[in-house]
Each structure stands twice: as C-alpha cells, then as structure tokens.
C-alpha cells in the first residue's frame, strides 16, 4: 500500500511528541491504600514520620516523597527507610511548624510503572 | 491531566506484546503448523522462510521496545535538574529482567537468522524454542503479579501462561495471514488446506489457555461484581472480553469453514483469509488493551474510590443534551492555569467539556446516518459525508484547550509543549486526514483501491489508542467515571474500523453485514457522544 505521505506525517508527529514533551509519571497503578498522616488530616501535633502503604511492592531506592511547607518552600527529606515492608514508603520528618503541608510522592512499582500522587495535611497551631 | 509517560509506557508495552506474538507465536506456528508438513514443496520452504523472517523482526521488536521501556523509567523518575538515576535503576529486578529480555530478543533474532541461512537442525530449533519461551515466561516480570505481596508465585505462573497463550494465538494469526500472501497458485491448495487444518487445534488450545488463565487471574484481581463494574480495571477487563468475543466470532466462523473445507476437499475461500485479517486486527487491539490493563490498579485494591453501580448506570441514561456552553471569559476567570496539574476542575470546565462532546456527537451522528443513507443506495450525494470531519476538526481545534490559543492566554507554541494539548492537536490532524482520505476515495479523486483502507485503519488505530488513554486524574473515581464513557467509544471505533475493512475485502452480498456493523457503530458513537456526561456535572 502506497501510504508513504500518511506514515511520514504520523512519524513526524510522533517524533515531535518525543522531542517536546517530558514524560510525567502516570498517577495510576501503584496507589496509596493507607497513609499516616491521612489525606486532608489536621494533626494536633507535628508527626515524626510519614508512612505511605501502597497496593504493590515498590522499589525504595527509586521512590521518594517531597514535602512543601506553609511558606511554599520544599523541606529536605531523607530517603525511605530501607528496612520497611516492601509496600511501604517511610520517611522521617524534620520538626514541622503549624500550617498546611503538601506531600508529593513518586514511586516505581516492582513491575516497572512510575506513578505519582499528592495530598495535603495540616498541623494545627 | 493525561500524562505522556503513562501513555508511552502503555503503548510500548502493547507493541512489546505484539512483537512477542510475532516471535514466540511464530515459533509455535513454525513448529506445530509448518514443521510437520515438511519442506518438500517450494511453497512450504518459502512459508518457513517468511515465518523465520517475521520471528527475527518480532524478536528485534521485543528487544527494542524493552530497551525503550528501560529508558523511559529513569527518564520519568529523574528530577529536571538531576542526572538520570541509572545506577540505582540498573540494580533493581525490573531493570535486570529487562536487560535479560533485550539480550534474549537479540539472541533469538540471531538464532532465527542462522536457522534461515543454514537450514533447520534439531539443535537450532531447540535454541530458538528455548529463547522464545524465555521471552514469553519473562513477560510475567512486567505484570501486576510481580508487585503482589501474596500469592506472587502462582500469579506469575498464571500470567506467563496467559501471555504465551495470547502470543501463540495472535502470533499464529499474523503468520497465517503472512502465509496467505504467499499462497497464490491453485496447485498449492492441498498445502493451504493442511496449514489451516493444523492451525485450528493450535488456535483452540492457545485460546483455551488464554481464557482459562485469564479467568483465574480475573477472579483474583477482581473480587466482586462492584469491582468489575465500578473500577477502571474491571471495565478494561470487560472490554477485553468484548473484543475477544468479537475475534472469536470470526474465528468460530473460520473454524467451521475449515472443517467443511477438509470434508469437501475444495480450495480455501478468500473469505476465510479476510476473516483472519479481521481477527488479527482485533487480536492486536486486545494486546494494546492488555497493556493498558497493566497500568491500572487491580480492582480489589481500589476500595474508597469505587463507583457504585447506580453511578455507572447514570452515565448511560440518555438525557437531552443542553447544547449550551459557558462563556469563555467565565471559564478563564474560574479555571486554573493550563499547566497546573494539581488544580481541581471547576463546574465551568465540566460544562465546557460536555458541550464539546455533544457537538462532536452531532457531527458523528450526522456522518453515521449519511453513511447509512449512502449504503442504502438511494442518495448518491450522501457520499460526501466525510467532509463533516473537517467541521468537527475545526470545532475541536478551537474548543479542545480553551486556556490555549486561539481562545486562551497561552500561545500556540507555548501550549504545544503540554502533552495533553499536543495529543489533542495530533487528534485534530488525524481527523483532517480521515476527512481528506475518505472523501477523496468516495468522490473518486483517489482511484487506487488501496487508499480506501486508510479510513478503517485510522478508525481502528484511533479506537485502540483511545482504549489506552487512561484519563489519569488525581481522583481515581472521577478518572473511572470519565473512562467508562470513553471506553465504549474506543470499542465502537475499533468495530467501525474493522467492519469497514471487512466490507471492503468481502465480495457482495457477503459484505452487507460488516457494512451495517461499521455504519451502525458510527451512529452509536455519535449517540454516545451526544448523551455524554462529565463526572463533575452529574448530580
């Protein structure tokens, strides 16, 4: 079949996609089934650590969480505890001031899917 | 926002499965269908040579797609200002299995190439078979089973059998079609009958393995009826079942045709091969849907975000479309900036999107009805229906991304770097292509019959891509309630494509039924779009 022009245009468009776009991970597959603090929770005391339990094994060396504080600045967080259960991301926290926090996570599940998500929690004054 | 990484991952996994079908499925075809026939006739030798060539290309395809998948993950994991975490990535199980699959794919390509050059021997076939099995079995390391905490061993074993069953069935069909292109001379009829007779039990066994292991895996991953009807995983599973049923309908017709052929001793009718082409198309779509399923969380894991059956049913209750749209100024005032992926969608955005779907539905419904009218033979002027695609493309180009050019503040090129905007514009370009090719064919401007296959291929390909488009949102339930209305659209587009394909291939009057199938699918597509409801707009 002489579809040269059609396939040429399609190939060009696909190349443009790859050149222009950065691959954002899909927020599917590995999902948080339990977390501490929970999404939207208002805590009376600042937590010492964050625990995320997923529905799948995750690769901890390539999974991470980031926390943005009330001022909008990201707080430095260590890597997840390596000895935690295979489906858990556990991250120690620095002392948190009262305010609203945004937690973002990006994990690689054991079957090779990069997924991400985010939720907010607050520390009461 | 639908994200490019997820889409690329699904599409690459789908291509990887198709390549696996060509390689591992080809080995089964060569050993169990062509092998026992011997290499006595020139056609048998050419058939084996072609099969080996396809095995080589399939093996290279597995290696290449696996390589791209390995590159995709560190790319997606890296922060913009930090180097790719390659060293850490290469230390994990997924990457190591990926490297093994790349090496096995390349080794299989070399082994098949040597076999083709030096002729068959027991040692070379043993090597090729072992490498093909390694590729098939190692697919289980890319499946949901790999991430499970419990029952991982049994789930991986079931998954490996499932993927090998799919590869042998779909791959066997691909190789059967390749054989058909070689079979031309009447003197070769006995060989063609023998190939078909030997393929039937192989197809039955592989479909049996596919269905049996698929049922067992479904019972594990989908725990209840709610899980089947109220999660994205469940709905994609149902989509697989519908596509499999359609493919098996064609396969069943062929199965009985082959039995009659054996009884009567006649030459295989061309219809048999054309049905096989349709089966190949549906089989390849199934592989893409299977790849899409790997990107969704299993239904049993989705608890709080499950939709209820009544919420799902509410999506499909016809309601007179309002056909009113919010003003662009109101939308721009309330909506978050284009690149803010965390922002919640506002009611104006839902209403805007609903209006877009409804108007698109009017266009598609009109085209479906005109196509039906043209088929009835009473209105020759109706053959110009593809021109309505141009109106649809113009409407979507303007309205798809209201926060970008020409309606919104984001410039044309500035918004082009956002994956969903880019995908929408690519879709518009494809719709324009659909309009121009099909109108040129129907109005006699493109005289070669080959051009008439562009429309069905674009429809079938577009439908398959829609099925891989998971509408990833932050809220899984909202994601699902959007997906549940897009999934039937994808299935109907696939039926439109392959129905039209069969109409073109089959002689009259046998082509009447597929003709009705594709025109009817277009009408249904239009109606579904017309009654479309956004998740945020349903009370």
Q: Inspect the interface and report whether the beta carbons of B94 and A108 lie closer than 8 Å.
A: yes
Q: Inspect the interface and report whether the beta carbons of B474 and A13 lie closer than 8 Å.
A: no
Q: Inspect the interface and report whether the beta carbons of A114 and B76 lie closer than 8 Å.
A: yes
Query: In angstroms, what separates the C-alpha of A25 from chain B's closest C-alpha?
Result: 5
Q: Inspect the interface and report whether the beta carbons of B294 and A86 lie closer than 8 Å.
A: no
- Contact A39/B at CB under 8 A: no
The pTM is what? 0.87
**Burial of B184 by CB count in 10 Å (0-12 exposed, 13-18 middle, 19+ buried)?**
exposed
Q: Inspect the interface and report whether the beta carbons of B149 and A87 lie closer than 8 Å.
A: yes
Among chain B residues, CA nearest to A1 = B450
For A114, which of B73, B423, B473 is closest by C-beta distance? B73
Query: In angstroms, what separates the C-alpha of A51 from chain B's closest C-alpha?
Result: 18
Q: How far apart are CA B5 and CA A22, in angstroms?
A: 8
At B16-69, the pLDDT tens digits run 999 999 999 999 999 999 988 877 788 889 999 999 999 999 999 999 999 999
Element housing B499 (H / E): helix B476-505
pLDDT of residue B23: 97
pLDDT of residue B462: 84
Q: Which residues pair with B226 in a beta bridge?
A: none
Q: Please choose, from the candidates B239, B240, B234, the residue with its C-alpha nearest in 3D space to the C-alpha of residue B299.
A: B234
Query: In angstroms, what separates the C-alpha of B420 from chain A's closest C-alpha?
Result: 10
Residue range B233-254: mean pLDDT, rounded: 94
How far CA A92 is from CA of A36, A43, B9, B471, B521, in Å, comes to 12, 16, 32, 33, 55
Residues lower than pLDDT 50 in chain A: 1-27
- Contact A21/B at CB under 8 A: yes
> Of B359 and A112, which is predicted with more confidence?
B359
Q: Dihedral of CA B86/B89/B90/B91: which sign?
A: positive
Q: Inspect the interface and report whether the beta carbons of B450 and A20 lie closer than 8 Å.
A: no
Collapsing DSSP states into helix, strand and coil, what is residue B421? helix
Check whether B192 has a pLDDT greater than 90.
no
Give the lowest-confidence range in A3-7, B82-86, B418-422.
A3-7
The single residue listed with the structure tokens 């779009």 is: B529
Residue B422 — pLDDT band, cuts 50, 70, 90? confident
Query: In angstroms, what separates the C-alpha of A97 from chain B's closest C-alpha?
Result: 24
Query: In angstroms, what separates the C-alpha of A111 from chain B's closest C-alpha?
Result: 5
Q: How far apart are CA B235 and CA B237, in angstroms?
A: 5
Residue range B3-11: mean pLDDT, rounded: 75
Element housing B114 (H / E): helix B93-118
Check whether B114 has a pLDDT greater than 60.
yes
At B117-151, the pLDDT tens digits run 998 889 999 999 999 999 999 999 989 999 999 89
Residue range B78-90: mean pLDDT, rounded: 77
Check whether B250 has a pLDDT greater than 50.
yes
Check whether B235 has a pLDDT greater than 70.
yes
Show residues of chain A in contact with B423, CB under 8 Å: 17
Show residues of chain B in contact with A23, CB under 8 Å: 3-5, 8, 72, 75-76
Cβ partners under 8 Å of residue A21, min gap 6:
B4, B417, B418, B419, B422
pLDDT of residue B3: 58
- Token pair for residue B168? 């042998």
For B93, which of A6, A16, A110 is closest by C-beta distance? A110
- Contact A124/B at CB under 8 A: no
pLDDT of residue A10: 47
A114-123 and A42-43 beta bridge pairing: parallel
Helices (H), B183-318: 189-221, 225-230, 232-264, 270-293, 309-315
At B273-288, the pLDDT tens digits run 899 999 999 999 999 9
A88-92 and A114-123 beta bridge pairing: unpaired
Helices (H), B119-151: 122-138
How far CA B304 is from CA of A19, B95, B226, B307, B347, in Å, comes to 38, 32, 12, 9, 23
pLDDT of residue A6: 45
Q: How far apart are CA B24 and CA B19, in angstroms?
A: 9
């Amino acid at each position: 079949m002489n579809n040269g022009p059609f396939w040429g245009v399609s190939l060009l468009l696909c190349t443009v996609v790859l050149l222009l776009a950065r691959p954002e991970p899909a927020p599917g597959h590995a999902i948080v089934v339990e977390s501490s603090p929970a999404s939207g929770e208002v805590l009376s005391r600042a937590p010492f650590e964050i625990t995320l339990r997923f529905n799948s094994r995750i690769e901890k060396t390539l999974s991470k969480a980031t926390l943005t504080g009330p001022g909008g600045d990201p707080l430095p967080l260590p890597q997840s505890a390596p000895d935690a259960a295979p489906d858990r991301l556990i991250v120690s926290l620095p002392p948190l001031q009262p305010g609203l926090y945004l937690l973002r996570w990006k994990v690689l599940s054991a079957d090779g899917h990069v997924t991400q998500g985010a939720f907010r929690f607050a520390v009461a004054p | 926002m639908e994200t490019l990484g997820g889409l690329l991952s699904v599409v690459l996994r789908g291509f990887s499965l198709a390549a696996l079908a060509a390689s591992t499925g080809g080995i089964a075809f060569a050993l169990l269908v062509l092998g026992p026939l011997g290499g006595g006739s020139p056609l048998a030798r050419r058939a084996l040579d072609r099969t080996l060539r396809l095995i080589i290309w399939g093996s290279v395809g597995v290696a290449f797609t696996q390589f791209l998948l390995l590159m995709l993950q560190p790319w997606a994991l890296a922060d913009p200002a930090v180097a790719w975490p390659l060293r850490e990535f290469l230390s994990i199980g997924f990457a190591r299995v990926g490297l093994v699959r790349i090496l096995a794919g390349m080794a299989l390509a070399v082994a098949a190439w040597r076999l083709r050059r030096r002729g068959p021997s027991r040692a070379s076939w043993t090597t090729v078979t072992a490498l093909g099995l390694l590729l098939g079995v190692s697919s289980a390391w890319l499946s949901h089973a790999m991430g499970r905490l419990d029952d991982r061993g049994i789930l991986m074993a079931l998954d490996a059998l499932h993927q090998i069953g799919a590869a042998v069935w779909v791959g066997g069909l691909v190789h059967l079609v390749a054989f058909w292109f070689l079979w031309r001379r009447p003197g070769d009829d006995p060989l063609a009958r023998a190939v078909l007779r030997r393929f039937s039990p192989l197809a039955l066994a592989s479909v049996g393995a596919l269905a049996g292991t698929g049922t067992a895996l479904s019972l594990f991953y989908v725990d209840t009826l709610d899980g089947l009807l109220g999660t994205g995983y469940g709905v994609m599973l149902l989509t697989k079942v519908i596509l499999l049923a359609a493919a098996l309908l064609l396969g069943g017709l062929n199965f009985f045709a082959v039995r009659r052929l054996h009884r009567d001793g006649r030459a295989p009718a061309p219809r048999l091969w054309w049905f096989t082409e349709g089966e190949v198309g549906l089989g390849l779509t199934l592989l893409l849907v299977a790849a899409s399923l790997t990107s969704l969380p299993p239904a049993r894991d989705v608890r709080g975000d499950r939709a209820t059956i009544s919420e799902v049913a509410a999506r499909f209750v016809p309601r007179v479309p309002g056909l009113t749209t919010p003003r662009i100024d109101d939308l721009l005032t309330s909506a978050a900036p284009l690149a803010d992926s965390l922002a919640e969608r506002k009611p104006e955005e839902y209403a805007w999107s609903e209006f877009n779907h409804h108007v698109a539905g009017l266009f598609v419904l009109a085209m479906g009805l005109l196509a039906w009218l043209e088929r009835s033979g009473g209105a020759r002027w109706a053959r110009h229906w593809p021109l309505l695609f141009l109106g649809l493309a113009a409407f979507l180009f303007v309205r798809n991304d209201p926060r970008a050019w020409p309606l919104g503040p984001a410039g044309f090129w500035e918004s082009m770097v956002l994956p969903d905007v880019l995908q929408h514009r690519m879709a518009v370009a494809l719709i324009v292509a659909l309009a121009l090719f099909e109108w040129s064919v129907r109005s006699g401007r493109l005289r070669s019959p080959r051009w008439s296959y562009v429309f069905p291929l674009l429809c079938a390909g577009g439908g398959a891509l829609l099925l891989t488009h998971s509408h990833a949102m932050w809220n899984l339930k909202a994601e699902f309630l959007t997906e549940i209305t897009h999934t039937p659209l994808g299935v109907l587009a696939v039926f439109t494509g392959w129905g039209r394909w069969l109409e073109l291939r089959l002689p009259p009057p046998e082509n009447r039924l597929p003709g009705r199938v594709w025109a009817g699918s277009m009408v249904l597509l239009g109606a579904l779009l017309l009654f479309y409801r956004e998740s945020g707009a349903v009370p």
